[in-house]
Structure formats: structure tokens, C-alpha cells
Amino acid sequence: MKKMTWLSLVAIALLIAFVAIGCSKPAPAAQAPAAPAAAAPAAPVSDGSQDLKISYRLNTAAADPENYFSFAGNIRYMAAEKDHADETTGASALGSTHLFNAYLYDVEGKPTMSSGLRGLFLFGTNPYSQFITDNVTVSKAADGTITIMYAHRGTAYRITTDKTGKLQFPNGSFESRAIGYIVGGGPQVISKDFSADGTAATVDWAKVWDSSVAGGKAVDASSDKKTGNIVKNIAAADSQYYFDGTLQAALANNILTIEGFLTAVQR
């Protein structure tokens, strides 16, 4: 009887131990601490260095041998001092047309500033006939704001200073809009949405810069080219670098001048 009791007790103890072991859960493994979230890349910051010097003069009322475009920067050999129109060829005498592209585009061909501004600079190195062909219009408002507009190869450009005549970079008031097209040496063909007779000479600037005049329409029946909407004409968002800073414009006695330095800022 005692033996049976002892064996019963042993069996009960083993059963309890088995149940306890079978029902227990393993302790959870220790979790590694979560890695800290990656910090957002720092926004580009200008160091204020004078990486590109600009000096420009343009007579907006008549042909003028004193017109010029000067620029110099950190790219070796890419500079011009008082470039002007070559009287024989009509092209820029010192090659600004192609030399300045070294600053306008990064190595991937993405713009670092307004292409319309580069076009404006080149009027200082072209004959006055180009100024007329592209219907360059320059005005100064009573509050001091200077507005520059022109149409080149079917695209309209508008450049606007602040009330003190400053052009701000990288996000100043530089705009463009497709309004026509050109074949070969021209003349430009302009949509009659923006020009009564389809020429650059009669462009209605108020209509060009009216966003309620929709783009996406055929320019004419002779081409598949279409008009566009108003867009910012500034550095590409994914350019390797962009120019930052301020250029000072002035308009007095029909003479437009632009002076200053810009800083290249790496993204």
C-alpha cells in the first residue's frame, strides 16, 4: 500500500512537471534597438563666393557700338571682356554665344540659371537687327520695376526685377512660354492667339502672359508645333549646381545695364 502511494505520488509529480513544461512559452529574444532614422540631406548653402562676374550694356532704342557683354568665372578660358557684335559676320566678336554656355549648363546639360537671361545678354553682342527681329521690349514702371520681354525662335521670355532693379537668383522672376516656331533662319511664326498677323513684330505681350489663354494649341496649319503654358525659366531642379545671388539692373536714357557677381552652389 505504501509502495503504491509512493508510486502514485511520483506519477502525479511527473505529470505536473510535463504539463508545466509543455504549456510554458520560451522567453522572447531580446530585440536590437531600432536604428536612428537617417538625417535629411542638408539644404545647399551659398558661401557667397564671386564665381561668375557679369557686366552688360544694351541700348534699347538704337544701334550702338558701345553695347557689350562681359563675363568671367572659375572655368578656365570661358570668359569675354566687352564682347560685341562683329561688324563683318554679325556674330559675337569674342564668342560669347558658345563660351557662356559653360556657365549656363552643368556637365549633364542641365541649366544652372535662366536661359532667357543668357539670350538677353547676347543682344549686347548681336546687331541691332536681331533686337528688332525678336521684338525686344524693355520698360521701367513707376515703382522702379524693370520688365524685359522678347520672342526668340518661337519662345517668349519675360525677365522682371524687383522695385530696386535687382534680379534675384535662383528663384527670381524669369518666365518663358512657347508661342510659335521658326524654320531655318526664320522669320518666326507666332500663333495668332498672341499675334494679330502671326509675326513677332505684333506680339501682344498682355496675351502672352495671360494664364487664361490656354496653351496646347496648334500654332498654325503648316506645322505640328503647339503653344505652351507659362513656365518658370530658372535652373533645373536636378542640376548639379545652380547660381545664387543678385544682379543689379538699371534703365536710364534707354540704356539697360546689368552688373554683379553670382555664386555657384552645389546641390
> CA 149, 88, 85, 90: dihedral to nearest 10 degrees?
20
Cis peptide before 187 (omega within 30 of 0): yes
- All three cell numbers of 104, joined, read 549656363
Residue 248 has pLDDT above 90, yes or no: yes
Give SS3 for 150: strand
Mean pLDDT value across residues 4-23: 44
The 10s digit of each residue's pLDDT in 187-237 is 999 999 999 999 999 999 999 999 999 999 999 999 999 999 999 999 999
Reference 43, options 167, 144, 170; nearest CA is 170
Mean pLDDT value across the chain: 89
Do residues 232 and 175 touch, judged by C-beta distance below 8 A?
A: yes
Mean pLDDT value across residues 80-107: 95
Strand order across the beta sheet in which 231-232 lies: 137-140, 146-152, 155-160, 173-178, 231-232
Q: How far apart are CA 72 and CA 248, in angstroms?
A: 17
Mean pLDDT value across residues 104-108: 97
Residue 129 has pLDDT above 60, yes or no: yes
Is-above-0.75 flag for pTM?
Answer: yes
